[in-house]
Chain A
């Protein structure tokens, strides 16, 4: 999975512990692609640990009862699970709104039809580039782009709404104007111009992916122009790299506020990268109920609200907008999970983080470590 969707934006007031709005199910970590920007953890979970069909179904039912409204089926490559249509149908029967986050390379017309018939509303297809060379550079998979186009056509034909997730690196920025054309050609109503978020494999490969500030400035201009020109035809979401931002993003609407993430083996996480926080322990759906984990799990409690925040955040007017930013990024860049997210300009590390990104972009060293299972994944 290269895209990390948040909960849908809503204007709701915050009170104590609200029920979650969205759940992201990493059905499997298996994937035919090996994207260097993959946000999956570096220690991938092997197939033998995956939840069974019945376990996923039970979890989806629990999620609906807890208040989840939307479920994202992701991975790895979720379509590598043969039971995906069964799970989609089960989710729909529980009243959940369904979204598929896919690379598309395994989706043929028969599968698209089965998914649509099961009630799938929306699919988001990841595009590492719009040339085969560019695509292969990121995915280490030949011929992937053609298969993505075929998947888009099949899903469109089946009546599923499409989003093109254009994942931006310094290698493909220059083709952004053509990406809008591709989005329209494949019948997407929405495109995410999503700069890589540096987690998991993406963090490992940051130096090989990071765009320059000049590229970012150009990109922003292109997006602004396209938004005006394509209004009403193509919705454009734009996510810039945090490293060049003034303030951090509200990671998934705030820790433990709206969103939960399930790993293939059923570990329930406040965000997809949370396992990098070694100070926390995470509960499994195999041991506790989802409601119990959401309400009482120690990992969810750890950074919920503002009690954990550093002083600068606790007194900041933005604290209920960005909830102090991302804990995983704080750990990765500041060495402490409860530090201020260094992508905030209030952070003493802000300037050095930006400088590091600029240097990495300028050095332009393109050696990539492609995603792979380690020996520990059985």
Chain B
């Protein structure tokens, strides 16, 4: 399966059988996947929460730029790089 590159129009979502959940005992977010687990940092959690399969990447970036009160040109490349990495590791799909 070739994983497509993340682009402005992609609508990223969590891959099948990947679950983002709040771990109430350790008070942190975790991403559960078959035989794997990931401890996302704060930014990754914000990004993953936007990955609903409907919202285009450009909108996600705008939203996060607003939340972080930072310019789109600064937020954008970081989000793309993060999502590209999560896609390559099979946690997110587009």
- Which residues of A come within 8 Å of B, CB atoms? 5, 8-12, 19, 21, 65-67, 69-70, 95, 97, 99, 121-122, 124, 159, 161, 163, 189-190, 232-233, 235, 237
A163-B35 contact, Cβ under 8 Å, with A232-B2, A232-B3, A235-B90: yes
Q: Which residues of chain B are within 8 angstroms of A5 by Cβ–Cβ distance?
A: 35
Instruction: Point out residues on B near A: beta carbons under 8 Å.
Output: 1-3, 16-17, 19, 21, 23, 25-26, 30, 32, 34-39, 88, 90
Give the chain B neighbours of A70 by CB distance below 8 A: 32, 37
- 4 more A-B residue pairs beyond the given contacts A10-B39, A69-B30, with a C-beta to C-beta distance below 8 A: A19-B25, A70-B37, A121-B19, A124-B35
Task: Evaluate contact between A190 and B25: CB separation under 8 angstroms.
Answer: no
CB-defined contacts of A12 to chain B, threshold 8 Å: 39
Contact, CB under 8 Å: B1 / A99: no
Q: Is A232 within 8 A of B35, CB to CB?
A: no
* Residues in A whose Cβ lies below 8 Å from that of B25: 19, 65-67
Which residue of B has the minimal Cβ distance to A22? B37
Bound together, the chains give a CA A11 to CA B90 distance in angstroms of 18
Q: How far is the CA of A1 from the CA of B54 in the complex (A)?
A: 41
Q: Which residues of A contact B26 (CB under 8 A)?
A: 19, 67
Chain B residues closer than 8 Å to A99, beta-carbon distance: 34-35
Q: How many angstroms from the CA of A122 to the CA of B35 in the assembled complex?
A: 8
* Cβ–Cβ < 8 Å partners of A232 in chain B: 1-3, 88
Contact A161 B30, beta carbon cutoff 8 Å: no
- Complex Cα–Cα for A11 and B39 (A): 7
A8-B36 in contact (CB<8A): yes
Residue of B nearest to A237 (CB): B35
Q: How far is the CA of A264 from the CA of B88 in the complex (A)?
A: 39
How many angstroms between the C-alpha atoms of A95 and B29 in the bound complex? 13
Residues of A contacting B19 in the complex (Cβ-Cβ under 8 angstroms)? 97, 121
Query: Would A163 and B34 be within 8 Å (CB), given that A69-B23, A235-B90 are in contact?
Result: yes
Residues of chain A with a CB closer than 8 A to B36's CB: 8-9
Q: List 25 A-B contacts (CB under 8 A).
A: A5-B35, A8-B32, A8-B35, A8-B37, A9-B36, A19-B26, A66-B25, A67-B23, A69-B23, A70-B32, A70-B37, A99-B34, A121-B17, A121-B34, A159-B16, A161-B34, A189-B34, A189-B90, A190-B34, A232-B1, A232-B2, A232-B3, A232-B88, A235-B90, A237-B35
